[in-house]
A and B are shown apart, each in its own frame.
Chain A
Amino acid sequence: MSSTFETVAGIISETCDIPREKIAPESHAINDLGIDSLDFLDVAFAIDKSFGIKMPLEQWTQEVNEGKVSSDQYFVLKDLCANIDKLVAAKAA
């Protein structure tokens, strides 16, 4: 997770022009870092490309909008990174 977090934090810092030191594993991408949905597409693109995955953003958004899960599960960075790790592992399997 730690190297995943470092990669994701670097992507967010560069893509959204947010100082790296403000990005923590507990940061919520939207609520704490103020990343809007359009900027998040750039972040998603860079993550997809870096990790060779396709994050299921539509499914995640739908689950949040339907109240099935809290947005924390997908947008708090440590949880986002855990989901990325799962996708990478599933791809390698």
Chain B
Amino acid sequence: MKLEYFQMVDRIVELDPVARVVRAACLVPDASPVFEGHFPGHPLLPGVLMIETMAQTGGWLVLAVLRFQRMPFLAQVKEAKLRTFVVPGQALQVEARLVHDGSGYAMVSGSMTSDGKKVADAELTYRVAPFPNETLRAQMLETARRVAVPEAFLDG
């Protein structure tokens, strides 16, 4: 994770288009400017970044299912539960399941664990729209390769 660049997902561990589930590995950095403010003397991964991590994981699933022809934009977060503190250096396993692939929107159920314990979960809605420009699509494809989204899903 590079928190200040909003790079929350380190690596896609598994992506199953039939079961419509993705699993990702995310390692909270030991140090980040974010921890200077959140909180001084008691560094914690902000809850909004826990939600963002689940949203990005689900976003990779939606992108892969749509073969990078459309971009998911987070539109709604429901039933978000931040169950435990997340601290610098902690390894997170994130899972997202595609609940519904609608026309122009997608619903995903996200969850996060660490050492087998539930950390957070949320129901996420995305608006799914054409890429606004080629720059963004190219950047998403480059990032997809960095986080090891399987090549088969990048072929649009």
Report which A residues bind B (CB closer than 8 A). Answer: 38, 41-42, 44-45, 48-49, 54-59, 61
Q: How far is the CB of A8 from chain B (nearest CB, A)?
A: 16
Do the beta carbons of A41 and B100 come within 8 Å of each other?
A: no
A44 to B107, CA, bound (A): 11
Q: In the complex the two chains form, is A41's CB within 8 Å of B76's CB? A: yes
Query: Are A57 and B100 neighbours in the complex by a CB distance under 8 Å?
Result: no
Say whether A58 contacts B100, CB under 8 Å.
no
Please give the distance in Å from A48's CB to the nearest CB on chain B. 6
Q: Are B75 and A44 in contact (CB under 8 A)?
A: no
Q: Which residues of chain B from 10 to 50 have any CB-CB distance to chain A below 8 Å in the complex?
A: none
Main secondary structure of the interface of B (DSSP, over half): strand
Let me know if B76 and A57 touch, CB within 8 A. no
Closest chain B residue to A49, Cβ basis: B100
Interface-centre pick from A38, A44, A55, A58 (highest chain B CB count, 10 A): A58
Across the interface, do A38 and B103 meet the contact criterion of CB distance under 8 Å?
A: no
Query: A54 touches which one: B75, B103, B127 (CB < 8 A)?
Result: B103
| Residue contact A59 to B103, C-beta cutoff 8 Å | yes
